[in-house]
Amino acid sequence: MKTKLLITIFLPLFYVVASFAQDSLQLEPPARSRLDSLDLPASDSTELVQDSTSLLSEVDSLPAGDSLSFPFAAKADVRYSKDSLDQEVESFAKDSMRYDIANKQLHLWGDAYVNYGDMRIEADYIVYNWTDNIVTATFSL
């Protein structure tokens, strides 16, 4: 009986409170400004702006000119070991190339080649050991 009484009293009270929560407000559109944005004069797009890089050239620490004319750009004094290669080694791999720094090796996979002077080695997998300058090639069938 108490349950029916609570439902009978609180249920209509809940609906009344909920109906006030849904108060309908009529929103008016904002008042239109007297000046429309399209009526404003457009700014001149060809207006000249002062060059900002001219200020930087006064405080530049490097002189303008050819960089090869500087003495530090001359040939470096590099000493090569007696067992170093006398020509450039060119290498290519179509699939992938991995440098193994710990073992000082270069691994080439997939249609790989190594050129040294007039010698050329082509294989599916090539390992170039740069400590003793040995190239090992492996072919797959």
pTM: 0.43
Is residue 84 within 8 A of residue 64, CB to CB? The reply is: no
Give residue 16's pLDDT.
66
For the 87-141 domain, the top CATH level (class) is mainly beta
Q: From first to last of its 141 residues, what are the pLDDT tens digits of the chain?
A: 667 766 777 767 766 666 665 556 666 666 665 555 565 566 666 766 676 666 555 666 666 666 666 555 455 677 777 877 788 888 899 999 999 999 999 999 999 999 989 999 999 999 999 888 888 999 887
Handedness of CA 43, 48, 52, 55 (dihedral sign): negative
Q: Side-chain half-sphere of 9: how many Cα atoms within 13 Å?
A: 5
Q: For the chain, what are the domain ranges?
A: 87-141
Buried b (16+ CB within 10 A) or exposed e, 87-99: eeeebebeeeeee
Query: pLDDT value at position 86?
Result: 81
Report pLDDT for 108: 95
Q: How far, CA to CA in Å, does 39 sit from each of 12, 15, 77, 78, 110? A: 57, 52, 71, 72, 67
